[in-house]
Amino acid sequence: MQVSVLRLGHRLVRDTRMTSHVALVSRAFGCQKIYMSYLDNSIIKTINDVNTRWGGNDEFEIVCVSEWKPLIQSWKKSGGIIVHLTMYGINVNDMLPQINIKKKILIIVGASKVPSEIYSLADYNVALGHQPHSEVSALAVFLDRLFDGRELTRTFKDAKIRIIPSQEGKKVKFE
């Protein structure tokens, strides 16, 4: 499955940590790319460090785009679909079965206010419930549902460190 994320509305400093977590979720939960329209070096550094240590340099990357609209338009032109995560959308429990997962998917995750145009550009406006929570949780739950839990057992290439799952405490293996 080809899935990427577009992070919209990132505000420097204020959103750095949240967007880092959005990027880490994108990586850990099976996406190939996260597109960002703001260049935030500390997030690029976080992802590069994680890729180096935990693997996946060729499997996940941050891509900076100067404008989001051409990305969405070219994504749709090439046969991909757009999923916008918003608490105002249709509940994921009802919407997910309608999404054609054979197409490549671009998931839009907003920080502050999202331009209203996004609602009409999106093929699916999907709500992870209709209560306020977090873009980090919304993205994670959506991806977990989309990949049916399989993303949580994936391994990354060229990892320097791997966890040995344990009930007793921290066990790691250095490669």
Name the residues that contact a second copy, by CB under 8 A. Answer: 17-18, 21, 24-25, 27-29, 50, 54, 87-93, 116, 119-120, 124-125, 127-134, 136-141, 144-145, 149, 151-154, 156, 162-163, 165-172
CB of 173: closest distance to a second copy in angstroms? 11
* 113: its two tokens: 């206010």
CB of 102: closest distance to a second copy in angstroms? 21
Nearer to a second copy, 20 or 35 (CB): 20
The DSSP code for 113 is P
Nearer to a second copy, 88 or 158 (CB): 88
Nearer to a second copy, 66 or 167 (CB): 167
Nearer to a second copy, 6 or 92 (CB): 92
CB of 79: closest distance to a second copy in angstroms? 21
CA–CA dist 151, 70 (Å, integer): 29
Identify any residues that bridge with 24 across adjacent strands, giving them in sequence order: none
Closest listed residue to residue 17, CA positions, set 113, 136, 109: 136
CB of 152: closest distance to a second copy in angstroms? 4
Pairing of the two strands 61-64 and 33-36: parallel
Burial class (CB in 10 A: 0-12, 13-18, 19+), 171: exposed
Residues 6 or more apart in contact with residue 137 via CB below 8 angstroms: 128
Is the CB of residue 31 less than 8 Å from the CB of residue 3?
yes
Nearer to a second copy, 65 or 123 (CB): 123
